[in-house]
Every structure is written in C-alpha cells, then in structure tokens.
Amino acid sequence: MIRRVACLFLALGAGCFFSVAAATESSDPVESIKSFSDFATIDLGRVLNGEILSERGSLMNSPNGISAQTCYVMALPADEAAKHLQVWNPLPFPELKVFAFHSLHTPCEPADFQSLDFRNSPSPVRWLLGKTLATTPTRSDLNLTRDEAKQLSACLPKPADPAKASDCWAKLLQTRVSAFQQKGLAGMTPYEVAGETVSPADQIRAMLLEQISISHEFLPILKGIGLLGKDTEPSLTPFYYWTLFDADYHGTISLGAVYLLPVGDHFQILDLEYYVNASYYTSATLYDVWPVQNQGAPAALVWRGDFFAAPTLRFTKGTDRIAYGALMLQDIKKEIHCMQTEARTKR
C-alpha cells in the first residue's frame, strides 16, 4: 500500500507514468472492486438478485466534500451497460424531479437550450427565477463569476420577464459550454460573487486525492481528461448535456460531460458536472463496469462512487454529516433503481 500511494503521488506531481496495460489484465470483478473500494465483502449472489450494496464514504478533510459508494448489477452486457450509463436520460422518471434534460452539440449551439423555459414553472424553478432577478453586478446567491453577474443583471429587463430570463441563462450557459469544449478543465471558470472564489475543478481534485485507492484505480480516465496528472488537455471525447432539476426544493441547472474509457476487460466512466448554477458547487460520479453472468445471461457488475461538494457541508459535522450521507445514498439508490428498470426493458 505504501508503494502504491507513493507512486500515485509521483504520478500526480512529477509525471510518473502508470502503465494502462497493467490495469487491463483480466481479473475477478468482485476482488477488483474490493481492492480499491470501501466494500470489505461483496455477496455477488445478493447483488445478482437485485440488491444495491451501499457504503457511506469516509469523512473528508475537504470541508465541502462528501462521498458515497454503491455496487449493483444491470441486466445488460457490460459494453451496452457502459454506453447506457454514459448517455442516460433521467427525464422519463418523475420521481427524480428532473424538469429538463438535453444533449449538447459539439460545438454547442443556441438551439441546444431552446427547452430552457422559466414560464409556467414549478415552485423550485420559480425559486431560481427569483434568485436570477435578484442578481446584481456585485452580488448573487448563484454560482457566477463577476462578469457573469454583470452580464445577467444587464440582460434582464425591469419588470421581470421569465422568457427573457430563460434567454439570458441560455447565453450564459452556451458560453460556459463552449469554454469547456474548447479548453477542458481550464475552461471551468471559478465562481466569485457569492462571497468567495470557488474552483469546481479544485473541489473535485481535493476529494479524489483523499481517496488514494479510488484515484489509483481510475487513473486511466482521470488522466485522460486532465483531472489528475500534469496534462490539462483532455484526450477523451465526452457526451455533453445540460439539465434542470429540483435540488432540495431549489431549481438548479447543471452542465455535465460523461467520459467513457474501455480498460482491458471492463469500462470506466466519469460523469463530471463542470458547472452548477445553484445549490452546490460540483459533483463527479465514477463507474467501474465489469462483465458477469446472471443465470446464463450476460450482465454488468457496476461499482459507483459519488463525490459531491456543497457549501452547506462546511457547517455539518459528526452525526449531521452522517445523516447527510444517508440522505445522499437514498437519492443515489432511487436513481440506480430507475437505471436498472430501464435497462431491463432493453433486454
């Protein structure tokens, strides 16, 4: 373990090269997952019968960070399951409280945001509209740069016009997407106007560097997008999306990129929210997808790790942080159930 940790830090700081070939050797999926995760034991029979195993992540030194891990099976061959996870659309499932979901072109186009509409919206979206209209050039409760706050404030007429607010957000979001598509992580501009400067990329890195075994396992994809290591230019092409959803009764828009990388006999996936306009700072979801057999049919054993950074977590400690983690796992399991249900219909 000491050698493994030392080599990882050399890779991150001094460019030590990890051979991807070393990670591609065929191995037992259960033992492989146990080797880097918080799961000391995995009863494959229980998982094949539909149970979702879960572990609250270790308490982090990062004041804004929290994590959780799950392990489950999808009723699809591993390659199909991986692609399904990369492009999955949560919109058909009302229990997930997603109001809009849209894939994005490369390069991003204005038409990509045509379905963003604040008119006749549910209460959480009206909350977002109110925070948008309250934004001034120097102050906002939303995740914005100073220039974005000025742009948003100047764009909005008085009195309030929900349709115009949608247009203003569409322009801001297209600029964010274009910067990320052109520059990768260097295009993740820090938030500034809510009282402190916060870098979403730094938040993700800080959480991953506290999880050395996970970072080691996923180094091929993390280096491939420039999140860890010396290279900042991504070498993988993701699936881009935007979504509008209810985050604890707050309407929230996020921009995401989902990367998929075959690694030997399994697949790695990273779903990175590179911009979130409210409620929290950023999130990253990692997947390890392995081929298994379930009653003679091909299936996929999935390990999932969720990393989440939010300003409210800074004020939660001890039992409050544990309770927050339990609620987080409830939401993750709800999403996994929806994914599993949809996967079964594709058999």
For 257, phi then psi, to 5°, come to -135, 130
Say if residue 232's pLDDT is above 60.
no
Q: Compute the average pLDDT of residues 161-178.
A: 96
Residue 19 burial (C-beta neighbours within 10 Å; 0-12, 13-18, 19+): exposed
Cβ neighbors of 195 (< 8 A, separation 6 or more) are none
Beta bridge partners of 292: 299
Which CATH number belongs to the domain containing residue 77 in this structure? 3.30.530.20
| 127 found inside a domain | no
| 8 found inside a domain | yes
Q: Compute the average pLDDT of residues 157-162.
A: 83
Share above pLDDT 70 across residues of the chain, in percent, rounded to a whole number: 91
| 204 found inside a domain | no
User: Which pTM was predicted?
Assistant: 0.91
| pLDDT at site 234 | 66
CA 211 to chain CA centroid, Å, is 16
pLDDT in tens, 1-10: 333 333 332 3
Say if residue 277's pLDDT is above 50.
yes
Q: Compute the average pLDDT of residues 138-146.
A: 95
| pLDDT at site 320 | 85
Q: Compute the average pLDDT of residues 214-223.
A: 96
> How many domains does the chain fold into?
1
| 177 found inside a domain | no
| 189 found inside a domain | no
Spatial contact of 11 and 18, defined as CB atoms under 8 Å apart? yes
Spatial contact of 223 and 261, defined as CB atoms under 8 Å apart? no
DSSP assigned state of 221: H
Q: Using 50, 70 and 90 to split pLDDT, how confident is the model at 14?
A: very low
Spatial contact of 232 and 224, defined as CB atoms under 8 Å apart? no
| 338 found inside a domain | yes
Count the alpha carbons within 13 Å of 35 in the hemisphere toward its beta carbon: 14
Q: Taking all residues of the chain, what is their mean pLDDT, rounded to a whole number?
A: 90
Please tell me the distance from the alpha carbon of residue 311 to that of residue 293, in angstroms, as a whole number: 42
| pLDDT at site 22 | 37
| pLDDT at site 196 | 84
Task: Tell me the CA distances in angstroms from 23 to 26, 158, 162, 218, 265, one per residue in order.
Answer: 8, 58, 51, 10, 9
| 251 found inside a domain | yes
- 12 or 156, greater pLDDT: 156
| 207 found inside a domain | no
**3-class SS of residue 283:** strand
Q: Is 272 left (phi over 0), alpha (psi -120 to 50) or beta?
A: beta
Please tell me the distance from the alpha carbon of residue 336 to that of residue 329, in angstroms, as a whole number: 10
Determine the structural domain holding residue 256 and report its residue range.
Answer: 2-117+213-345
